[in-house]
Structure formats: C-alpha cells, structure tokens
Structure 1
Amino acid sequence: MATTQVETVSTGADKAKLGVAIALVIGALAAFYLLGRQGAVAQWGALVLGLAAAFVVFMTAEAGKELAAFGRDAWKEVKKVVWPTRKESLQMTLYVFGFVVVMALFLFATDKTLEWVLYDLVLGWKH
C-alpha cells in the first residue's frame, strides 16, 4: 500500500524572512523595555513599529501567504453560514432553559426519593 506524502518546500529565503520576523519581534520587545526612561510614546512607538515591521516581513514569506489564504478561505466559509433569526435564537434559548428546569426538578425528585428510600426505609434513620 503506497502512502502519499506532502512535502512543504521551504526555501532559504523564506527561512531567512521568518528569522528576520522573529528577530524584529524580539527587538521590538527589547526596545519597549529598554526605552522605559524615554517615555511611553517612545516605548509604544518602538513596540508598534517593530511588530508592524515583523508582520510585513512575515506576510512576504510563504508561511504568511498561506496564512492569508487560509484567512480568506475561512471568511468565505463564514459568509456561507445561514445564521438563525432573532426569533429562532430566542425560541432555542427558551427551549434550553425549559429543559434545564425540567432536568433540575427531575434530579431533585430523584435525589429526594433515593434519600427517603435509603435513609428512612432501608436504614431506619429518621430526619
């Protein structure tokens, strides 16, 4: 029996892009903490710029392109979903609450019946 294997081709340039993106994230975090004395604007500016640069570099790599394609495909599938109307949602919610109440009453009655049978009839303990 032959098995088919799917191999992902990852070029050196893609690996380098991912490495640069990781380095940019680490650099942005380091800059955020090292610029503590420069003020919040410098800290947050360095963090946002570094993360934005890392995102741009990541999106140019094959992994980023695949992630973007996955996101587009997922959004297309979400658009195909037929969402329930407000009335249907309200009805189903009420059905669930009703079922929960009925089950709570059933379990309470079962518990009290077993308690009565075991403690009062079998063991003879009166409450």
Structure 2
Amino acid sequence: MKKIGSSNEKKNDVSNEVNEVVKIGEWKEKHAEQVEKKSLEKYLKVLSFNGLISESRELLDHLSLSGPTPGLTLRFKTLVKEFSSRLEKEAPNLSRSLLAGHEITEKKLKAYRNKTV
C-alpha cells in the first residue's frame, strides 16, 4: 500500500512536468504563427473572389522572387483553405482538386526545404 505523497509519486510528477516543458523561443514562434494565421483568415474572408485571385497573383510573384519562406508558406496554405471553402459550396469537385493540388505542393515544399537545409 502506497502512502499519499510518497517519493515515487513526487518523482513521477516532476518527470511529467519536465516532459511538458516547451522552449520559450519555440512557443513564441508558434504563437506568432497562430496570430498571423488568424489575422490572414479574417482578412481573406472579407475579400471578394476577385480579391482572392489578386492575393494569389501577388503571392506567386513573391514566391518566384524569394522562394518559399515560412511566411509565404503560411499565406499559401491559408489562401488555398479559403479558396477551397468558398468553392466547396459552388463546385465541390473543383474544391477537391484544389486540395489534392495543395497536398502535392506541400510535398514539394517539404522536399525543397529538406534540400536547402
């Protein structure tokens, strides 16, 4: 029979706490990305369809100049998500095709990042 508050329980509690520690730099980076993503989502939702197309063209211009960066990748993912959600109502097949193209592009971006690292 274990006593409440035994040393084994205390060791397990400390061990669990250590496993849950997050580096402050990683947390700040992840938090900033989440804030940016929410801001982008709100911005894209208020744009007209033509506005989304203009944003896409601008994003493609940036990508061709600088290559994929974390910020541009986030913009890309958010744009595809917004296009897909709008198209789902009007053209479900086109929406699925867009998502399939997005998955292929994600794989290519990962391969590109692995090559440059």
TM-score, normalised to structure 2's length? Answer: 0.34
TM-score, normalised to structure 1's length? Answer: 0.32
Q: Judging by fraction of residues, say which structure has more helix.
A: 2
Q: Quick check: which has more Rg, 1 or 2?
A: 1
